[in-house]
Structure 1
C-alpha cells in the first residue's frame, strides 16, 4: 500500500506500527482514512486516491 501511495504522490511514506487493530492514513496530520470508520482496510487503489 505504501508503494501504491508513493507512485501517485511521489512522497516518502512512513509506516508507524499501531496496536489493537488501529489503521489510519494521514497526510500532514490530516486524517484521510480510518479503519474503524470504514470497517476494513482500503481496497486496492483506494489508498492512492486519497493522495490525488
Structure 2
C-alpha cells in the first residue's frame, strides 16, 4: 500500500485536502500544513513501508482516532 493510501485509509475523516505533486528526479517529500515530516532528499532513502503513516500519526497525535470501518 502506498503512503498516500495508508494515510487516507486510516485518517480520511480528518483530512480536508490531500495534494500529491509529481516531479522528476525521485523527489519524495511529505508535508502537513507546511511542516515537512519526511524527505527522501534529507534521509537519502525512500520511506520504509508504514514509515510515513507512523510519522503522520505522530504529527496528528494519539488523540486523533483512526477511521473506523
Q: What do you get for the CA RMSD once the two structures are aligned?
A: 1.4
* Contact 1:25–1:33 under 8 Å retained in 2: yes
Report which of the two structures shows the higher radius of gyration computed on alpha carbons.
2
Question: RCO (CA 8 Å, sep 6+): is it higher in 1 or 2?
Answer: 1
**Which is worse superposed, 17-26 or 35-44?**
17-26
List runs of 5+ in structure 2 lacking aligned partners: 58-69
Q: TM-score, normalised by structure 2?
A: 0.63
Give the aligned length.
52
* Contact 1:8–1:51 under 8 Å retained in 2: no
1:28 — aligned with what? Answer: 33
Q: TM-score, normalised by structure 1?
A: 0.78
Determine the C-alpha separation between the residues in 1 that align with 2:37 and 2:5.
17
List runs of 5+ in structure 1 lacking aligned partners: none
Between Structure 1 and Structure 2, the one with more strand by share is 1
